[in-house]
Structures are given as C-alpha cells and as structure tokens.
RNA sequence: GCCGGGGUGGCGGAAUGGCAGACGCAGCGGACUUAAAAUCCGCCGGAGUAAAAUCCGUGUGGGUUCGACUCCCACCCCCGGCACCA
C-alpha cells in the first residue's frame, strides 16, 4: 500500500532541494527564447494575505509553463520598501522605519518561499536599500539634466493626515489614495517631472496587448482636447487693458458669448476687479479657496460666482460682455478662463439662468422658430446670429471661424490636456532623498553623480506632528555646494515611492551591477517584460509612471524600446463574504494557515479553480477540500499498482489516447490564454476518466504509464511539489521541472465518432452516433431512419434541412 | 451623468451562434465499517409522469435566425473607473 499524500512532508523537502540545487537560478542564454514574466512586487506591509497569493501563484504557474515550453524564463520577486506606513509604524510603535521594513521583508520572503514559485532569489530587489536608491537618485539627476525635472510653486494636493503632498494620480474622489482623508489645496514649491511632454505618446498603446479598460483609463487620464484658443480684451477703468486667452472646443459658438469667467485663483482676478466690486469678489475667492475639491467638483453643486465689474470685448463682433469669477472654472485646465455661451453649454446655461445673463442662440436646431430655450442646445445645427458664418453648418463653421481668427490674429487652433506634471516630492523621511542642494550663490545645484547615494540618516527622531525628521537633522541638512563648495542646504523632501517602482523591472535584469543602474547587455537580453500581471488599481499610477519613465530613458539613449510591458493582465480581487478584504474589517485571510494544513499546492490550485483569474472571487474555504480530494485521487492512481487486462481492447486504447491528447491540447490552450479555472477542470476530467479505465483495466501498461506521465507533467506548473514527488516515486529522473511540456498529437486527438444532435424546428429530439467523416447525405439519411424523428415529424412536410458537420441536423417542418 | 465589466441551479462557475448547467462544493441515496471518518458508486434546475413523453428555464421586455446564455434594440440591477476638463 503506497503512502498517503502528505503535502506537509513533501513541500518543505522539495523546496529545500530546489534551493540547494539552484534549480531556478536563471542566467542569460542566447540558445533559448527569453520570457520575462513579472508580477507586481508587493509593498512591505508586513504579512502576505491571500490576495498576494492570488496575484503570485497563478502567475508562477504561467511562468513555469513557459519554462517547460523551452523558454529561458526570468520570474523575479522583490519588495517595494519605501513608503509612509513604515513611518507611521515608527511613530506609533517606536520602531525605526528601516527595522520595521526589513522585519516585514524577512517575514514576507519566508511566506513567499512557501508558495513554491520559481523566483530566483539572487535577483531580489529591495527599494529602500542604498544600493538600489542610489540609482533611483541617479535617475532623478538624469531626468533633471534632460530638462524633465523642475521645481515650481503650484497649488498642490495636501493630505492633512499623512502630512504630505500627493500627485493628481494619487487623489481619488478628492481623498488621499492611502487614507481617504479629504485633500486640501496648498501653494508649495515642489519638484515635478514633465510627464506632460509625453502626453501624446502615453495615449498610444500600439503594439501592446493590454486590457481595453486600462488603455481607456490612461487615454482619459491624459484627456486630450482639440479646439481653439481665442483672445479677448478685458478693460478695467483703473488698470487699463488686458489681453487674455480662453480655450474652447466649440469655436463655432463664439458669437454666442454673453460673459467670461475666471477661476477664483486666477492671478488676473485681483487686477481686473473694479474697486466697487472688490469686497464681494474677495469674499467669494476666499470662500472658494476654503471649499474642498469634492464640494467644488461635484456636478450637482449649484453654480455660483460674482461679477468683477470688468468687461471683455468679443473681437469677432465687438460686443462687450461682463467678466465673472466662478469656481466651476478650474485654474489648472486650459487657461483658467472660460467663455460663457449659455445657449450651447449646459453649465453656462445654468449659470446664466441664475444670474440673468443673456442667452444668445447662435446654432439653430432643426425647426427652431426663435423661441426661448429651456435647456442648452449642445448638438450640431445651422449657424445664426454669427455674421458672415450664418447658414453654415456648425461643424464646418468650427474650422472656418478658427481660420478667420488666426488670420486676424485673434486666436488659433489649440490642444489642451487634462494631464498635469507628476509631482514627485514628498515631505517625508522614509523615501529616497532628492539629490539636490540649495546654495545661496549658485541656486539649485544637483549632487554629483559620483557622490551618490545621498544617504538617509538613520539617527532620527520623529516629531508627533508627522513632520519629516530630515528638516531638523543638522548633519543631513548642512552640506557644501557641489559647484562653489560654499556651505549649502540639502533638499529635505524625498521622492514619491512610485519613482522607485518605475525602474525595478530594469534592476532585476542585473541586480548586482555596480557601474550603473543596470548592465546594458543583460537588460537588453531580458527587456521588455513579456507578461506583466497585477491589480488594475495601478492603471494611472504605477503603470502610467513606468511608461513615462521608459520613454524618458529611451530619449536619453539608456534603453532602446518604447514600452516596458508588452502584455498586461489584471487579475481580479479576492473578496471575503462579498466584502473587500481589509484590516479594519478584520477579514484579512492569512494563507499560512491553509498552507500549513492543506499545503501550498492545494492553495495554488484552489485559487486558480475558484473563478476566472481576471474576475477574482469570494474566498470561501468550503470548496478547498475538493482540491485536496482530487490530488489524493491522482496520488493513488499514480502509486497504486495498475493491472492491465490480459487482452487489451483496441478501440479502448484509441479512445484512451484520444482523451489524453485532447486534454493535453485543452490544458495547453487554457494556460496560454490564462484560463486557469478550465485548465484545472480539464485535468480533473482526465482524472475521472483514468479512474474509470483503471477500474476496467482496458488498456496496456505502456498506455497507462504514458498517461500518468503526461498528467504529472501537466500538473507540474500548478502543483510543483506534488508533481515532483510523484515523478520521483515513479522512478523518473529529477527534476520534473526540467522536463518539456507534453506535446499533443493531432492525429491521436481526432474524433472517430461524433454525436450528431437531431433537432426538429430547433428543438432537440435525439442524438445519434455516426462516424466522424460521414457525408451530409449519409448523415441526413441516418437521421431520417431514426424512430424518434419519425414520431416527431409525423406527417408534416420537411421544408428545410440544416446540417452542421459533426454537430447538428435541424429538420425544419411545417 | 459618461465609459467599462457583469447578471446562468442551493453555492463557485462552464458553454461566445448549434446538446444550457462541464468541473467542483454543498445535499440526498447506496457500498465498505461494530460505528464514525476517509474512500468508492449513483442521483442532483423546475413542473409533470408509475416510468417516459412533454412543457418551462441563462436579470426584464422586444427583435434577428432553421436555431440565441451567446448577436441587435430598449429597460432594470450589481461591480469598477471617470466625473463642472470649457
């Protein structure tokens, strides 16, 4: 009697053996095609939860599959180790961020090793170590030298709880992406990366196999609008004339302008407001400033504003229109000034109605007789009240009017983006220091590349307010100017951690390289990433920044590709009891418990089986026993003695080979297409079939052994320990993970007999078995001879016969 | 409001124009056992029947088709993203 399947015994055993043998060590090999399989590295939060397993186990299965298919597979793992939670832990528990982070790394690495993945731990990357952040800083300097990093004062998002600024991408629904606290506006001097320079390219995803959803999100985030910039002259009785520009996508409505609006923060507000309006305007601007973004940006919010007392001249018709201030206009978009066309814009209509501003129709809808509008007409129509453009279609007038403005010098075509530059400075300690120095004489001076890294000091004290300890660390703060050697001050802000994750995939290709961020030859061998998997929440953060980073590096000549990630796959989310997992809900599932009772292989397979990977699913351990049961069945089928029949049946053996090869094909296709749940069920079906065959002993030993060998090979990526153990016990040479993926034989998989479904008027009446290569006439003849068909048709007339070879015969009767 | 994704047995899901419910969980019945667990075998959408036949059934209503879970139109609900972007 063979031993029972005991994962707790075999899993540590093989993990240790694989590690000793460096089975998964990977180096460049020009004799094989390379495959870079990357899973988003985890943040060092402390514990791996089941969601991490859901990200990592299936991607390891795919990588192992590619490996068995003959690819030279790199599938690295590391840690995103800088970030705010480490600092919060420091303040709450008095533990140093470094110690907190490295303790978590140790624990998570231990947990990760229990997955049984093919990670080559020699390539591990930890972003908070000086060997790594030295090059993060180096990239900052290179971006600075390329004119892509600059310092500017700007209204920025400030999270009062995290005591830090946030990039636009890191604000969701007006709240901080980490703690959901409402962000407020602050005017601060900050470092920015010119991501907007790549706006057009970032909207393009040509040649990328990415989910449509992510591509759309990125396109919308860039938010390119084509339109026109139109000039106006604003007169103020005291300050005189001021030429301003507005951006519009509807230059065809320019004759319908009845007012202009400035954003409350617009610098011209103060200048343009007439003395008698000053008090009211000031009060309004103040109240707008105090409102949170969420209040200001809510579409339901009633539009309000104040008149500045100034008037602007609409150059196309010489009309003078009032200039207002209203907070439905955003300073950050376009020019921060909007032309008000109430007749043809919903927001302007609401605003004009509220303040009795005239509504002037310039595009007539079909059948319009001059009656008043009860809502803005925003569609196309015929131009009216528009001088020489009357009678033209609004569509045509759009370009004709801009051409006219351009000729007169009153405006021109223009493009505006929603995308803003990437704000990268953070007022926190636990990040890569920005390698810049402020010198009274020389101004802003970059640290010399040779002087990197600018080390984070470790002897720090946190203040209870959350203010960065770097600001008061004299030894860090005081330095000399790299240029003039005079005493100077260091930048105390650190970099957004998304900067660290924008190049970690490059570092994996040569983690020990000292003379640069990566070894160019090795990087060229492995990059770009062939399959990148992770959560969709990074659509306009990490994925977006990494693309920008890659393009910037390409333009500096550091890399020779345009895109870092060729194929992107987003797995779904694991939820628990129909709720998101979170510490606050107390429903975080720790995989250790399952691994230490049922084994890693069972958890790996259960996660794949429970739902399509892209969909995600409810973690409900009631079904997990089915996986243990299944592996036990395979275990016993493999190790129990198979007694072949004295006289094997030729037909059975053909069927046996057919089932096996159809399964090999199905499993291969399914892994390739990332359909892990149906891949597992195909293997289960094969198991059920093998159990029946074993019962009837109807095939020869060599057929049986071949099938067992194939099913073990097909199980190897999913259940690496289990398959290795059975491979070993079956007497095959170590290791199953160095074997080739089984090939399917098309001839053997071919059906000899087909089951033809017989329908009458589309309703299934019966099914008949026929040879696979039967002709239409013969098939129909066989159908007509069937008893069931006779009784269903009775004496009705057959009007038509639909025949789909190998599938169906449908008799249409009247 | 706009843009995606989705709605199928008691449950997770399968089938993307051709047998709805593969595979698994739970449940029910049986074998083995002194008994239980484990294991093995069988049943398992609803109505209907002695058993069949038959009818109904993939969120709702319509349509296209010989044939629709699958395609088209309208609507309802759930999830995700964006949201005064001029």
A27-43 pLDDT, tens digit each? 999 999 999 999 999 99
CATH of the domain at A247: 3.90.740.10
Domain-embedded: residue A397? yes
Domain-embedded: residue A743? yes
Domain-embedded: residue A84? no
CB A311 within 8 Å of CB A320: yes
Å from the A675 CA to the B61 C1':
34
Domain-embedded: residue A594? no
Same-domain status, A687 and A738: yes
Task: Evaluate the omega torsion of the peptide bond into residue A735 and state whether it is cis, within 30 degrees of 0.
Answer: yes
At A300 the pLDDT is 55
CB A404 within 8 Å of CB A321: no
Domain-embedded: residue A535? no
Q: What is the mean pLDDT of residues A404-417?
A: 94
Look at residues A360, A332, A334 and name the one whose alpha carbon lies nearest to residue A345: A360
Q: Is A43 helix (H, G, I), strand (E, B) or coil?
A: strand
Mean pLDDT of chain A: 91
Q: Establish whether the CB of A768 is closer than 7 Å to any nucleic acid atom in strand B.
A: no
Å from the A279 CA to the B54 C1':
85
pLDDT tens sequence across A386-399: 999 999 999 899 99
Same-domain status, A230 and A367: yes
Domain-embedded: residue A513? no
Q: Which DSSP string do the residues of A774-790 spell out, in sequence order? A: --HHHHHHHHHT-HHHH
Same-domain status, A355 and A404: yes
Å from the A765 CA to the B22 C1':
21
Same-domain status, A171 and A189: yes
Distance CA A338, CA A325 (A): 10
Same-domain status, A190 and A238: no
Look at residues A519, A431, A512 and name the one whose alpha carbon lies nearest to residue A127: A431
Q: Establish whether the CB of A220 is closer than 7 Å to any nucleic acid atom in strand B.
A: yes
Q: What is the mean pLDDT of residues A758-782?
A: 85
Å from the A804 CA to the B18 C1':
8
**Is the four-CA dihedral A287, A290, A291, A297 of positive or negative sign?**
positive
Domain-embedded: residue A608? no
Strand B close residues, chain A 96-135, CB < 7 angstroms: none
Same-domain status, A302 and A355: yes
CB A339 within 8 Å of CB A312: no
Which of A384, A416, A448 is where one domain is finished?
A416
pLDDT above 70 covers a percentage of chain A that reads 98
Q: What is the mean pLDDT of residues A705-727?
A: 97
At A93 the pLDDT is 87
Distance CA A482, CA A464 (A): 34
Same-domain status, A190 and A322: no
pLDDT tens sequence across A473-487: 999 999 999 999 999
Å from the A789 CA to the B52 C1':
17
How wide is the angle at C-alpha A422 spanned by C-alphas A419 and A427, nearest 5°? 140
Distance CA A482, CA A473 (A): 20
Same-domain status, A332 and A410: yes
- Cα A49 to Cα A258, A350, A434, A583: the distances in Å are 59, 50, 33, 11
The more confident residue out of A777 and A118 is: A118
Q: What is the mean pLDDT of residues A736-762?
A: 90
At A298 the pLDDT is 55
- Chain B bases near protein CB atoms (7 A cut-off): 3-5, 11-15, 18-20, 22-26, 38-41, 54-55, 66-68, 80-86
CATH of the domain at A762: 3.10.20.590
Which of A714, A729, A748 is where one domain is finished?
A748
Same-domain status, A147 and A264: no
Per DSSP (E only), the strands in A117-163 are 125-126, 149-159
Nucleotide nearest to A762 (CA to C1'): B67
pLDDT above 90 covers a percentage of chain A that reads 68
How wide is the angle at C-alpha A688 spanned by C-alphas A682 and A692, nearest 5°? 145
Nucleotide nearest to A806 (CA to C1'): B18
Q: Establish whether the CB of A537 is closer than 7 Å to any nucleic acid atom in strand B.
A: yes
Å from the A328 CA to the B84 C1':
5
Nucleotide nearest to A419 (CA to C1'): B85
Q: What is the mean pLDDT of residues A426-439?
A: 95
Size (chain A), residues: 814
Give the residues across from A446 on adjacent strands. Answer: A436
Domain count, chain A: 4
Nucleotide nearest to A610 (CA to C1'): B12
Residue A508, pLDDT above cutoff 80: yes
Distance CA A641, CA A245 (A): 86
Lowest mean pLDDT among A150-159, A655-664, A667-676: A150-159
CB A489 within 8 Å of CB A438: yes
Calculate the dihedral angle through the C-alpha atoms of A589, A42, A82, A505, rounding to the nearest 10 degrees: 180
Q: Establish whether the CB of A623 is closer than 7 Å to any nucleic acid atom in strand B.
A: yes
Nucleotide nearest to A332 (CA to C1'): B85
At A209 the pLDDT is 92
Q: What is the interface pTM, i.e. ipTM, of the complex?
A: 0.94
Q: What is the mean pLDDT of residues A69-97?
A: 92
Domain-embedded: residue A163? yes
Nucleotide nearest to A293 (CA to C1'): B84
- Cα A801 to Cα A39, A568, A758, A794, A797: the distances in Å are 53, 46, 11, 16, 11
At A1 the pLDDT is 43
Q: Establish whether the CB of A762 is closer than 7 Å to any nucleic acid atom in strand B.
A: yes
Residue A421, pLDDT above cutoff 90: yes
Same-domain status, A374 and A237: yes
The more confident residue out of A58 and A166 is: A58
Same-domain status, A393 and A306: yes
Which of A416, A438, A459 is where one domain is finished?
A416
Strand B close residues, chain A 575-604, CB < 7 angstroms: 580
pLDDT tens sequence across A259-301: 999 999 899 998 899 999 999 999 999 888 777 655 665 545 6
User: Most confidently modeled of A345-354, A367-376, A559-568, A771-780?
Assistant: A559-568
At A773 the pLDDT is 83
In which domain, by residue range, is A459 found?
139-194+421-497
Q: Which DSSP string do the residues of A444-462 spell out, in sequence order? A: EEEPPGGG---PPPS----
Q: What is the mean pLDDT of residues A521-531?
A: 97
Cα-atom radius of gyration of chain A, to the nearest Å? 34
Residue ranges in A559-614 assigned as alpha helix (H): 592-595, 600-609
pLDDT tier for residue A2 given thresholds of 50, 70 and 90 = low
Calculate the dihedral angle through the C-alpha atoms of A90, A91, A94, A97, rounding to the nearest 10 degrees: 10
Same-domain status, A660 and A721: yes
CATH of the domain at A628: 1.10.730.10
């Amino acid at each position: 009697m063979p031993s029972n399947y005991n994962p707790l015994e075999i899993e540590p055993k093989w993990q240790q053996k694989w590690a000793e043998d460096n089975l998964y060590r990977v180096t460049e090999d020009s004799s094989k095609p390379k495959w870079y399989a990357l899973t988003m590295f985890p943040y060092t939060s402390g514990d791996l939860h089941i969601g991490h397993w859901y990200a990592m186990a299936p991607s390891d299965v795919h990588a192992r599959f590619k490996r068995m298919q003959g690819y030279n597979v790199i599938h690295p793992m590391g840690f995103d180790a800088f970030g705010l939670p480490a600092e919060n832990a420091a303040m709450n528990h008095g533990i140093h961020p470094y110690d907190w982070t490295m303790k978590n790394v140790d624990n998570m690495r231990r947990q990760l090793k229990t997955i049984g993945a093919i990670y080559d731990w020699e390539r591990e990357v930890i972003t908070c170590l000086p060997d790594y952040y030295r090059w993060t800083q180096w990239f900052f300097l290179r971006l600075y030298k390329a004119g892509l990093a600059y310092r500017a004062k700007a209204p920025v998002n400030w999270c009062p709880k995290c005591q830090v600024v946030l990039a636009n991408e890191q604000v969701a629904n007006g709240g901080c992406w980490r703690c959901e606290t409402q962000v407020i506006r602050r005017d601060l001097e900050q470092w920015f990366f010119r991501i907007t320079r790549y706006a057009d390219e970032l909207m393009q995803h040509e040649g990328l196999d990415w989910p449509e959803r992510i591509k759309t999100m990125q396109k919308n985030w860039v938010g390119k609008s084509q339109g026109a910039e139109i000039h106006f002259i604003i007169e103020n009785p005291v300050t005189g004339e001021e030429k301003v520009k507005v951006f519009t996508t509807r230059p065809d409505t320019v004759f319908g302008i009845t007012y202009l609006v400035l954003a409350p923060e617009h610098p011209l507000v103060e200048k343009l407001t007439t003395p008698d309006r000053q008090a009211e305007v000031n009060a309004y601007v103040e109240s707008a400033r105090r409102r949170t973004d969420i209040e200001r940006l809510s579409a339901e919010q009633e539009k309000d504003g104040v008149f500045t007392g100034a008037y602007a001249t609409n150059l196309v018709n010489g009309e003078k229109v009032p200039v207002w201030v209203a907070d439905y206009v955003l300073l950050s978009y376009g020019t921060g000034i909007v032309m008000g066309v109430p007749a043809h814009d919903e927001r302007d209509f609401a605003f004009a109605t509220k303040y009795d501003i005239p509504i002037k129709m310039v595009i007539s809808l079909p059948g319009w007789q001059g009656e008043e509008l009860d809502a803005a007409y925003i569609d196309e129509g015929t131009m009216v009240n528009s001088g020489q453009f009357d009678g033209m279609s609004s569509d045509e007038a759009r370009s004709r009017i801009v051409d006219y403005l351009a000729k007169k010098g009153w405006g021109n075509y223009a493009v505006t983006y929603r995308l803003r530059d990437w704000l990268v400075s953070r007022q926190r300690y636990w990040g890569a220091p920005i390698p810049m120095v402020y010198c009274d004489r020389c101004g802003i001076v970059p640290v010399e590349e040779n002087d990197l890294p600018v080390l984070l000091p470790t002897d720090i004290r946190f203040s209870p307010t959350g203010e960065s300890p770097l600001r008061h660390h004299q030894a860090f703060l005081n330095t000399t100017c790299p240029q003039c050697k005079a005493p100077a001050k260091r930048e105390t802000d650190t970099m957004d951690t998304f900067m660290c994750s924008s190049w970690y995939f490059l570092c994996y290709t040569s983690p020990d390289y000292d003379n640069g961020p990566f070894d160019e030859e090795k990087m060229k061998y492995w990059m770009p990433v062939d399959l990148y998997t992770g959560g969709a929440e990074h659509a306009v953060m990490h994925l977006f920044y990494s693309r920008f980073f890659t393009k910037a590096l390409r333009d500096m000549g550091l890399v020779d590709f345009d895109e870092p990630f060729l194929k992107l796959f987003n797995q779904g989310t694991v939820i628990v009891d129909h709720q998101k997992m979170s510490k606050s809900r107390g429903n975080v599932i720790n995989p250790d418990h399952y691994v230490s009772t049922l084994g890693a292989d069972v958890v790996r397979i259960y996660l794949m089986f429970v739902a399509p990977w892209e969909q995600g699913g409810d973690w409900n351990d009631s079904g997990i026993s089915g996986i243990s049961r299944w592996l036990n069945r395979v275990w016993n089928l493999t190790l129990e003695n198979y007694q072949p029949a004295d006289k094997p049946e030729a037909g059975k053996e053909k069927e046996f080979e057919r089932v096996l090869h159809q399964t090999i094909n199905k499993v291969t296709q399914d892994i390739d297409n990332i359909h892990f749940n149906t891949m597992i069920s195909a293997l289960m079906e094969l198991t059920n079939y093998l159990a029946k065959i074993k019962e009837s002993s109807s095939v020869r030993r060599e057929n049986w052994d071949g099938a067992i060998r194939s099913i073990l090979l097909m199980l190897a990526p999913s259940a690496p320990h289990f398959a290795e153990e059975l491979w070993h016990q079956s007497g095959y040479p170590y290791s199953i993970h160095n074997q080739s993926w089984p090939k399917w034989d098309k001839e053997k998989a071919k059906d000899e007999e087909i089951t033809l479904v017989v329908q009458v008027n589309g309703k299934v009446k019966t099914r008949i078995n026929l040879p696979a290569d039967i002709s239409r006439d013969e098939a129909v003849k066989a159908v007509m001879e069937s008893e069931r068909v006779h009784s269903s048709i009775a004496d009705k007339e057959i009007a038509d016969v639909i025949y789909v070879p190998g599938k169906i015969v449908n008799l249409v009767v009247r």
